[in-house]
Each structure stands twice: as C-alpha cells, then as structure tokens.
Structure 1
C-alpha cells in the first residue's frame, strides 16, 4: 500500500504543478478544516475527493482503501468517547457527546483529505526541497527523510518475514507473533546500521542535498484559479 501511494505520487496528472503551490493549498485547507464548522469540513472532504480522483486521476480503489483504513481507526475510537462505565460497571452511552463525536469525525476526515492529497500528488523529496527553501531546520528535514525511508524498510521487512513464516508452516500462536515482531525490529536495526555505514563511507558528514527537477506547466494556472475561487467559496459558505 505504501509503495503504491509513492508510485502514484510520481505518476498523477497534478505532478506538473509546483510542489510549493500544492503544499500551500493543502496547508490552507488544513487550517480551515481545523478552525471551520462541520459544514466546511464536509465540503473540504468532498472537494478534495474531486481533486484526488477527478483531477489527479488517482484510482478510486486506492482512495477508498485508504479512506477505509482511516474510517476503521476512527470507528475504533468511538467507544472511548461515547461509552461510559460507572462504579457499578453499568455501561451507558453518553448522548451529550454525540455532537462532539460527529464534529471530531468530520474534522478528522477533512484533515486526512488534506494530507492524503499532498501525499498522492507530490513526491516526498519535493516536499523536503520545499521545506528546505522555507528555512525549516535541517535536523527536522533529516528526521523526515529517515522516517520516510524506514517506512519502506519496515513494510518490506514485515512482508518478507510474514511470507517466510507462512512458508515454514508458521502457526497463529501469540508466541509466533512475538517472534515475528522481534525479528522485524532486528532486521530494521541492521538496515539502519547498513545505511549509516554507507553514508559514512561516502563521506556524508553534513546535511543532505535534495535535487529538485522543475516540472512546472503553464496549464496549471487553471488549477490555481480554481483553488483560489474554491477557497473563497468555502470561506463564504462555511
């Protein structure tokens, strides 16, 4: 799933728009989603779905799968917000929290839409390049880079270990799960050591350089006008 999203970021119809423009667009919508009403949050979610599926041509299956994962985590958090337990272990639903929960769900969906839009339309190295131009501290950019890399290492290692265990008739006992987790972190640590030695062998002692390849297209001005008009309408209607 993670590698698929990274591939989509390099192969979508909004790839020709400057990364700084997409980041500003996503950040503005994120701020509006955090401070706006639930109506504005719903409109942002729907509008960004149009951008992701309609304009960027991201497969609706990919969008639905990612949205399903987020919805699963949100649903799992509902009992902690709605269900109350008193001293006599009586379980009840706090109806006064229903509006708060619905507001939280709409805000979370809108915020996820903003970040997912940025994830599937802008390659991560270009995001780092923009952050570097914005004078973000180098230590933060380096941490983001290593986190980004080890997400792929983690996914690949987990997949390989899972396939290996199944091929050897691995069981479903909790001990096998603990063994899998231990081997997973061990393999990730070895990957980290290999990366550190590779960087040291190449003489990398200062901050890394992120090469940006210009992909700006004059036709993207149409998207800029549409984004500006859409944000204005959201502020007016919300």
Structure 2
C-alpha cells in the first residue's frame, strides 16, 4: 500500500470497484437471454475471486517488487489474462452469443464509473502517486466518457433520440480515450518499458487497491465498448 496516502482515497476507489462489479452484474442480469441471465451468479463469483487474487498479489508486493523485470508482472498476471478472456469471448460462438445478448443501454451506463476513477486519479496525483499526465490536467480526458455516458444512454437508447451511428461514434471516441490513458499509465509505471514521468512515476497501479484499475475496471470498460461496437455494427432487422 502507498505510505501516507489519505484513507478516503483508497476507500473511494474500493467503492468504485464494487460499483463497477455491481453494474456489470446488473448488465448481465438484464440480458434478453435467459441463458445469459443464469450466468449472473457464476460470473459474479468468478470476478470476485479474480479481484481477491489481484488483492493478494498486490498486498504481497508481487507487482511492486523488482519492477525492472520484463514483462512487468502486473501485465503478465493481471492484465494479460483479462485481455485473453475478452479475445476468447469474441472468437468463440458461445462467447459471441453471450456478448450479443448484453443490453446496450446497461453497457453504456457502465461508463459512469469513469467519473469517480478520474477524480481519484487526480487525488493520487496530488499525493504524488501518479504523474500529472494521467489526470484531466494532463493528457487524460477520459472523464468526458463518464459524463456523457448517461446522456447517450438516456437520449440514445431509452428515448431513441440519437441514431445508432452517433452512439457508435461515441463508443469509438470513448474507446480512444480509454486506450490513451492506458498507454500513458503503462509507459509511466516503473518498469523496463517506462518512457516518461520519471520524476513522478505511476506507482499507484502497483499498490492495493489501485491495481484493480488495470486488472479489473479498465478491462470491464474495454469489454463494454467492444461489445457495444460489435452490436452497433451488426445490421438491425
């Protein structure tokens, strides 16, 4: 854990992680497919176990120890498994059935979690745990995705005042915003691939509970965008 970090920052981030888990569970539970809805509890349990594993790895300083190893441990045991899981869902028939059954509106509302995440990142910067470039005062404009998400969900998917084309463009823009902060976060963390922010590296993601950001919250949001884009690109009959 990060020394001298105000407790409210860790608590707020922990709550944000729980909200992300609950929103994703809510999304699955609201699926149009009964088969998908039946998977709600197993997926919830699986994700809870995954969060617990990441918590243990971080609390045991696995990610924080010998940061000069390649590939970085957090990528190998925290990020890569989530990416492989997403790929598996998109390349298998059962996986595609699952993602195609998820409600687009719920997936869009899921992006609201990006608002507290960005506020927490700013707090972490003020406490010298991440560089300024990872905040909305630097290169990170991801908060815009969180602010606009309920607008897109309500007017685009509840009231159907926005075309699917606009919603698709919004998803692509927000995906770019997400990838932007991911790249900046990875290349500013202490590791052999660090490229910038040497004066104040991104140490937060190597510490509990903030390791949940790249190993859980970001993959969930990424999955949401990819799923939404797939659904929006499919012809609507």
> Normalising by the residue count of structure 2, what TM-score does the alignment of the two structures yield?
0.31
Higher RCO (CA < 8 A, seq sep 6+): 1
Structure with the greater alpha carbon radius of gyration: 1
Whose helix proportion is higher, 1 or 2? 1
> Normalising by the residue count of structure 1, what TM-score does the alignment of the two structures yield?
0.31
